């Protein structure tokens, strides 16, 4: 009975960490869903399902590979899933690893920039203030290693999920499933959905490897991927439908969901602002931890790199984040497709 109870706890801890890795400033603000799905109308809604199920398969397959082959780090994982001709080439293997690490580092800095941008736009407080806050909180979390990441996500992600669903329920009477606007005839919706799953998989896989000590059986891996898919579908479809209500009004708005929340009153606007800050923080620590665990070998180097990364991110926090999301994430999505192909055919 105790074993079953611990297994259930570990599954849900892992689910919240995974969702915390996927959901970031781009997702919670509506920017990602708008960019990758809303423009394609009803096909965008189908694209969400394709993308989330693909991520669920990636989670399940990755867990099975690391459990079966006792893989403990990302470098070994890449070596295993690559075709033998490529994995035997050190330059090719290192190049793939370096691309992944660069993405994780950029993702961490984008989240810091997003956190800082919210402070200046919504609260009229200096970007430096917001950047310092998230940098300090991130360093404090990193100092506790993966345990810190799990603890933060265990408390914050359920809160974030409830707030998004609550916002959806308040507007559900106005949602018309027969009136979904967009380029419904465009074939690019399928490519867009694959790219969305692809770039998310880049930051997901290092975290999944770190969760190996919590997910130790294949049935636990299956349940973890199933619960993740279920929750992400609810959240993604909710945001998609909310954005569709205001499609003509949010085209040039950097944080569209804040605009929608404001239609229900200022208190709703600031409540959802908390959602965005939570999402930014959880993704920042997931991306940052993935980067640190990939490049460090011992605790001392880990702490030095952690401090340096957080300090540097304060400077990067002075940049805007929406343009970086729209430019860099699709590029890394194309690069991540190669990783998915290796994973699918292994």
Task: Give the pLDDT confidence of 144-178 residue by residue, as tens digits.
Answer: 766 767 777 777 788 888 888 887 887 766 665 55
**What is the percent of the chain where pLDDT is above 70?**
85
| Segment 329-345 mean pLDDT | 77
The pTM for the full model equals 0.82
pLDDT in tens, 276-294: 788 788 888 888 888 888 7
Please name the residue that has the structure tokens 């190996």: 212
Q: Is pLDDT above 70 for 247?
A: yes
Average pLDDT, the chain: 81
- Helix ranges (DSSP H) in the chain: 2-22, 25-28, 31-33, 42-68, 74-81, 84-87, 90-122, 127-142, 145-171, 188-210, 218-245, 256-262, 266-295, 299-316, 322-345
Neighbours of 245 (CB within 10 A): 17
Domain residues of the chain, as ranges? 2-345
Neighbours of 338 (CB within 10 A): 14
User: Cα 257–259–264 angle (5° rounding)?
Assistant: 95
Whether 97 contacts 108, CB under 8 Å: no
| Segment 41-46 mean pLDDT | 87
Crossing angle for the helix pair 266-295 and 2-22, to the nearest 10 degrees: 100
CA distance 41 to 57: 25
Q: Range with the lowest mean pLDDT among 51-55, 83-87, 280-284?
A: 83-87
User: How far does CA 164 lie from the centroid of its chain?
Assistant: 16
- The reported pLDDT for the residue numbered 88 is 64
DSSP state of 255: S
- The reported pLDDT for the residue numbered 4 is 65
Length of the chain: 346
- The domain 2-345 is placed in CATH, from the list 1.10.150.120, 1.20.1740.10, 3.40.47.10, 1.20.1300.10, at 1.20.1740.10
């Amino acid at each position: 009975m105790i074993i079953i109870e611990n297994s259930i706890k570990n599954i849900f801890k892992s689910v919240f960490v995974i969702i915390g890795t996927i959901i970031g400033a781009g997702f919670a603000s509506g920017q990602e869903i708008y960019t990758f799905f809303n423009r394609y109308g009803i096909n965008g809604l189908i694209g969400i399902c394709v993308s989330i199920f693909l991520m669920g398969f990636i989670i399940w397959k990755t867990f099975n590979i690391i459990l079966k082959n006792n893989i403990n780090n990302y470098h070994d994982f890449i070596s295993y899933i690559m075709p033998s001709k490529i994995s035997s080439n050190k330059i090719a293997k290192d190049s793939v690893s370096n691309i992944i690490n660069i993405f994780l580092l950029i993702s961490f800095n984008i989240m810091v920039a997003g956190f800082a941008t919210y402070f200046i736009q919504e609260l009229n407080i200096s970007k430096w203030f917001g950047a310092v806050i998230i940098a300090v909180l991130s360093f404090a979390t990193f100092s506790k290693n993966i345990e810190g990441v799990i603890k933060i996500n265990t408390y914050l992600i359920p809160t974030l999920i409830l707030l998004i669903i609550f916002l959806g329920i308040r507007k559900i009477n106005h949602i018309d499933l027969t009136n979904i606007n967009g380029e419904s005839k465009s074939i690019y919706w399928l490519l867009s959905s694959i790219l969305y799953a692809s770039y998310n998989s880049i930051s997901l896989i290092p975290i999944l490897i770190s969760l190996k000590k919590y997910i130790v059986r294949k049935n636990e891996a299956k349940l973890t991927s199933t619960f993740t898919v279920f929750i992400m579908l609810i959240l993604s479809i909710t945001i998609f439908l909310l954005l569709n209500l205001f499609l003509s009004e949010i085209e040039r708005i950097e944080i569209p969901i804040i605009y929608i929340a404001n239609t229900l009153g200022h208190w709703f606007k600031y409540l959802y602002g908390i959602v965005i800050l939570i999402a930014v923080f959880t993704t920042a620590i997931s991306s940052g931890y993935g980067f640190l665990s990939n490049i460090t070998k011992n605790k001392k180097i880990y702490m030095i790199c952690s401090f340096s990364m957080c300090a540097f991110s304060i400077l990067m926090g002075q940049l805007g984040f929406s343009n970086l999301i729209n430019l860099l994430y699709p590029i890394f999505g194309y690069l991540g497709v190669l990783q998915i192909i290796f994973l699918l055919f292994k």
